Structure 1
Amino acid sequence: MDHSSSDCLLNPGEVDYEFESNEVPEVYYIRHDWPLSVVDDELVPKVGMTFTTLEDAGKFYRNYAKAAGFSTRVRCTNRKGNEIKNQLITCSREGKWKSKISPTEKTNPTASLNCPARIYIHTLKDVGAWIISKVVLDHSHPCCPSKAEMLKQHRELSMSIRRTIENNDEAGIRPSKTYQSFVAAAGGHRELNFIEKDVRNYITREVRNVSEQEDTKEFGKYFLRMKEKNSNFFFELELEEDQSIKVSFWADARSRAAFEYFGDVISFDTTYNTNRYNLVCGSFVGVNHHGQSTLLGCSLMKNEEIESFKWLFQCWLHCMGENAPKGFLTDQCASMKRALEACMPTTVHRWCIWHIMKKIPSKLNGYKGHADIEQEMSHVVWNSHSKDSFDRNWNDFLLNFGLADNNRGVNCTISRVYYADLYEDRHIWVPIYLDHHFWAGMRSTQRSESMHSLFNKYITRNSSLIQFVKQYDNCLGSREQAERESDAADFHTIIPCATKSSIEAQFQDAYTHAKFREVQAQFRGKANCITRLKNFALGYSVYEVGEQLSSSIFNKFAVTYDSVAAEVKCQCLLFESRGILCRHALSVLSFEQVSQVSPRYILERWSKKVKRRHTHIKSSHDEPLMEPRSKRFDQLVFRSQNICEFASESEELTAILHRAYNNVMAEMEALKAKRKGTSSLSHEDANLESLTSFKACQGFEQEDVQKTG
């Protein structure tokens, strides 16, 4: 946008460039037809008004502009060295506007109409004041006081509003919701002196507008602050030559302590679109004693290459005291697989079965009846209760649908190669090959993905790094709070037993509510089981338990019971993989009239009685970096809330608080005025006599300008 008068070269008759203490500028008062009756006379600028500071003069003119129905802008400021000598403030519609955009492409609205309204302000050095030497009240356009509040200059975000916007943005509340909360609190849109666009602009300009280098620097400073607050906070950060992030990892003190109890099985997944630099976000997620997801570290990486994953996994192991988990779930990723083999050779690696099954439709393009293929494959995967049966069922499945091909040559289709590769890797994704290991109920990385979806509620591909890490802090806090609430419910309440079984009562006494409900589900399912003794010798029994799934479908499971060792084992491997006794084992224990299960079946991992160290550690939360004034403001607001709540109990108490407010306000204004100092003149006393006390006016124009002396 061009303004024809955008430079600071004014007509020689408009501005006097320097005034010593014994000189007074020529004073003009421009005639005008503006109906001053609509504006209080106290607000109208007059020649000779003086102010303590230049800011006070500008504020006075802005207040007049708001009352009159227009806005202002500083047109020109003349300096001598670092000192301001004079300033011209005009109506914002001053100047001539010329669009740089072709009218055939786009036309933008213009506000510039060469409006003459303005004031001139000069410094009076010896007096230490600022004087209005010329006033033009005429406008080249209509002014509307009722619409002035919608002009940008008169829309203002108070400190209280700004702090609320910042806090809501950090909490992930959308700007539209934040604005609507202001509207509701004020009693309508008209009661606010700002619009929703101001809220959005403030977030973009003040909260989010940082460069990548500045963002990375603040990201590193965050780690240092957290380390200073708690020495057990762990982080590693590698930067590129341009100071952008190459790879980073961090875990707070609570996550590191929680690993001691919940680090046996880890789900790890990566996602994009969490930041403006398209860094890959990876989260380490475990399962706590309530079956809830718990965060055990987070990473940001530039790529998903093998070396990046090696660096990350080694860093995570170092953070957790070189204690590798027993099980590790990931997506079907070759880079992760090779990195895990190198960094955690003793850890059982498992691919997310949900991702594998989800890819099947895309691998069956061109096959007729692909829905039948998908259904049959699912049946083979989930209903093969031994490795031998899976191998037989898988081969039959491939033969039935023409997917078998041992000669993986040129004519071998992509689908056949894919299924052949799946079979070769069956030991890292098929349940029957993995369920003899403990997985805490996890078979997929959906816990990690649910964490990422939680991030995505509050952050976007345009989010900065510091915004991301704050949302990660919020996620840590929400996970901590969920665990605390569940711990409190376990302590203060009890879930009644569904049966008369003393075994159920054992689990009721020991397990958290969430895990006891899983046990109860197995007790209810026991009603659908029929137990038959198949073999018995020297206290060792073999049972066949038939579970009725429907009126005509039964699944049969082999269950063994050793009465000497008090050990029961089922073919379904539910206890081995989830730590919950299955309905088939419970059916056999009932058949054997066992009243108490061995302590080996009551896992400490699910116990509500264990005192865990991490529960005494708060999750990391960064205190916002605020200016001293903002800190003082927050402290005052926090204290005043209790006072206001107490005073609101009655009219008498409210009146006491109002009187106290008035007294305190008067005292603060007096102190502020004393510190600021006062000039020998004020704009309230401006008149001809006050001007002549400095210097008699001289030299006045006669046409459009009225002589004041």
Structure 2
Amino acid sequence: MLKAKKIRRKARAVRENLVDDTVSTPEFENEDEAYEFYSMYAGKIGFNVRRASMTVNNENVITRRMFVCSKEGFREKKRGAKRVKKPRPETRTGCPACMVIRLGTNGKYQVTEFVTFHNHQLGAVAASDLVMASQSTENDQDDGFDLADRSPDDSVHKQNLINESVTINFLEGRSCKRYKCTKTPHYGDVGATLEYLQRMQHDNPSFFYAVKSDENGNFTIFFWADSKSIVDFVHFGDVVCFDSGYALQGYGRPLALFTGLNHHKQTVVFGAALLYDESDEAFRWLLDTFKMAMNGTHPKTLLTDRSAAISEAIAATLPATAHRYCVWQIYQHALQQLSQAFHGSRTLEGNFKRCLFDCEDEEEFLTAWKEMLEKYDLEDNQWLADLFSIKEKWALPYGRDAFYADMKSVQQKESLTSELKKHLSLEYGLLNFFEQFERLLCDRRSAELEFDVNANQSTKKPPSMRMLRQAANVYTPAAFKMFEREFELYMDCMLYSCGEMGTISEYRISVEDNPKDHFVKFDSHNSMMNCTCKTFEFIGIPCRHMLKVLDTRNIKDLPVQYIVKRWRKDAKSGPSNSGCAFSFDGDPESAQTKRYNLLCRIFSISAARAATSAESFTYMENQSNILMDQVEQVIQTRPPDIVDLIGANCDRTQNSVDNIVTEGIHSHTNFLNGSADGRCSNIVFLPIEILIISRQ
């Protein structure tokens, strides 16, 4: 113990002598932005970051924070701890690398120390090393550091390069939002991606893809969604998980996925992206493009990783969407941040998962969290303290007004990015990844069709109770299982009347051995209810408390308004053009292009339904010939200048990608007629190819 203290004092002395004087004063709006900045730097240099000491003022505002290498310091021996035969090896080395920020008089955080020296080997350098570069100033002077072109043979040589050659030039007073984080696509990836996207759209005109480029013409984002993904979003896009964890970690290809949950509680993919730019501007573009691909419809709830750039992008592009931090992704981070603690205890991980996934009300969560910290001596763990400080953004008791569709339970069982992780490695060609991605989608969609058939042809004996029988007939088996659990639990509930006011009655529901009571209001005029537990708002299934009220009032059928369609067996039936409205802007060719894209989506939805059985397929095939004859008759009655518009436009779009990418895209260019209207835009629609080239 005494030896460790001496080494720590020596490390602090080394740190004081290694402060980089080239660092002036970058500014951050908050501590999270500084942490994100240093983490992105660390991810590409080859080390992990840990929040260390901090200072707060009387108003509990952080005035100083130190971020350190994860190997800083040494493991401390606890007093009274028993000696073990095989102690875990020491993983810390007393590394002095750090970044320190202080709160300035302008209310922003400034870097006061930046130590680049590490006393241990660093991770290997990837070909897509980070480039953190500031944007041009008014005098067109660029300041930044670039590690992308360096590929040392070993981590020792890499360390020398960092200490001798890397200069981090921050402009005084500049906000950290002006720093962009970009990665360089691996050699051949751009061509492979464009080849895949063009081939997919050639095979299916409803396939949507978009590409973003930076000011130098380099492709930075590729987004795509096939017709089935767009159809799935129409039915199940109420809650979306944006999984960018693999992209933000900086390993392999930067894949990001938009996923959701279907009526069988299976994961569905709404869209995918290769994200070589992680700036707030890039995330805004990506979310805008996703919304456009989904016909302008936005999800009710969006679950994401913890990121200041993503949060700002959502606030700007999806203001009506409830934004929550994904508890599953928080758990993945905990596996890294608390790895030593998890290995040192067999029960800690289970207790932590209970706090994340199982607590339904605030009191239960706070109690479980406090007990976990005390039991495992984690009161001083800075990562947990920081996580708890933003509990309102991720803890389930604070987000029960937002619809989750029970996403958390499914995420604990599977992760698409983990399945694709191997194929994202730079050791494999990108076309191999696309093949695996298509195979994964095909397998999951085949499983969905199988579940559809089984749900509608179930030979299971129907329940004897009337409401259960009704639920079994309309819900999918997965949804019925959730309802059945609530139905069984309502038997243990005790109901007490709290009074009436007009048509509205209020009840208190209690359960033995549970100190938490819930209150239900019931309107006898329309059978509308709401419960303080918020289970119906949270997952779309009536709670046990509501079922108790219905039983007390002798209502034996579940009111139709409490059978959410997204959980029904027929969830994918109904109008096919829901949410697909658009407006004309006066340009006939632009209007026709919009009609074309909209019809592709409409018929894709119809095709998806018709393909579920041979009879519906034959019917649709026969009707298509009749419909085409009727369309031709309508076209013949139109003025002749519009008859061949589609064919003419299609001929003009048979150009290579190189011809589409023009130099200096500052204004919106209409590739359909070759004119430029001078309006700024990121989007260019083509009847056959949908390609987005952007410069902002």
* TM-score normalised by the chain length of structure 1: 0.48
* TM-score normalised by the chain length of structure 2: 0.49
Query: Which has more radius of gyration?
Result: 1
